Amino acid sequence: MNVTPESRICVLGLGSMGLGMAGSLLGKGFSVAGFDPNPVAMERFSELGGQTATDPATAARGADVVICVVVNAAQTEAALFGPEGAVQSMAPGGTVISCATMAPDAARELGARCGEMGFGYLDAPISGGAARAASGELTIMASGAPELFVGLRPVLDAIAAKVYELGAEPGIGAAFKVVNQLLAGVHIAAACEAITFAKAMDLDISKVYEVISASAGNSWMFENRVPHILEGDYTPRSAVNIFTKDLGIVADIGRGLDFPTPIAATALQMFVMTAASGMGRDDDASVARMIARIAGLELPGMEH
């Protein structure tokens, strides 16, 4: 299947990432329908010019491409194969682009099910955050049949600055994303620990951010997440619960391989502690608030 300007696109999951991707596609002139169980997300999508629907099957009616931007494998399976799943109404020979972070085995199983029904399946986890999703500059770590990359190129180019073609079988892209999430989770936890440590030493944490961002200790996550802490703004761009899930996948895979992941395991417990303290749906930089509470410190936005 080759995507053309007349192709119908469906986006399932209109959170910060899915909404940005849908907006990028609309900006390129594609006809885009979408569904999300959150009415606020649906309203925002409608304001961008998207066609809203009442369920995944309705959103995917006649769609040549269904992009599934939900949280995990279970939600992907439900969105595609549930009672109101998308595959029952897609155009014959259409393709699913699956973007959720999941274990490689889950991606392989979903890909096989799509293949049995005559649909293509691109295992295509994404990275880059909400801002890059909105600007069409995501990184996509994808695997699937080579012809899918050719046929889907206009869609991929609309949503991503970098598309890595990592192999011909689903599951490879998922495995690359799990490696990315190991590092991302560890880096967020380390950034939160570092900036709170600076606060414990009574340093000007805004100046710490300035200095470290220009020094060897910097990371993409330190540079991206610490401003949330400085502003006391924990509106979820990426929620704590995302990393309890993703680092949980890392732990499960490591256990299955008899491969130790001690640093990732420590980071996982930091996210679990943050979720247990009531901040699971808040921005993942809330790990800093969890540490600050334990240490009896006050960060911006925590003042009583």
Domain 175-295 sits in CATH at 1.10.1040.10
Digits of tens for pLDDT over the chain (304 positions)?
788 888 999 999 999 899 999 999 999 999 999 999 999 999 999 999 999 999 999 999 999 999 999 999 999 999 999 999 999 999 999 999 999 999 999 999 999 999 999 999 999 999 998 889 999 999 999 999 999 999 999 999 999 999 999 999 999 999 999 999 999 999 999 999 999 999 999 999 999 999 999 999 999 999 999 999 999 999 998 999 999 999 999 999 999 999 999 999 999 999 999 999 999 999 999 999 999 999 999 999 886 4
177 is catalytic: yes
Specify the pairing of strand 65-68 against strand 51-52. Answer: unpaired
Q: Which is the catalytic residue, given 28, 177, 199, 245?
A: 177
Domain ranges in the chain are: 8-169, 175-295
d(CA 77, CA 72): 9
Give the pTM. Answer: 0.94
* Residues 81 and 112: beta-carbon distance below 8 Å: no
Q: How many CB atoms lie within 10 A of CB 207?
A: 10
Domain 8-169 sits in CATH at 3.40.50.720
Q: How far is CA 21 from each of CA 15, 73, 187, 247, 263, rounded to the nearest angstrom?
A: 10, 19, 25, 25, 32
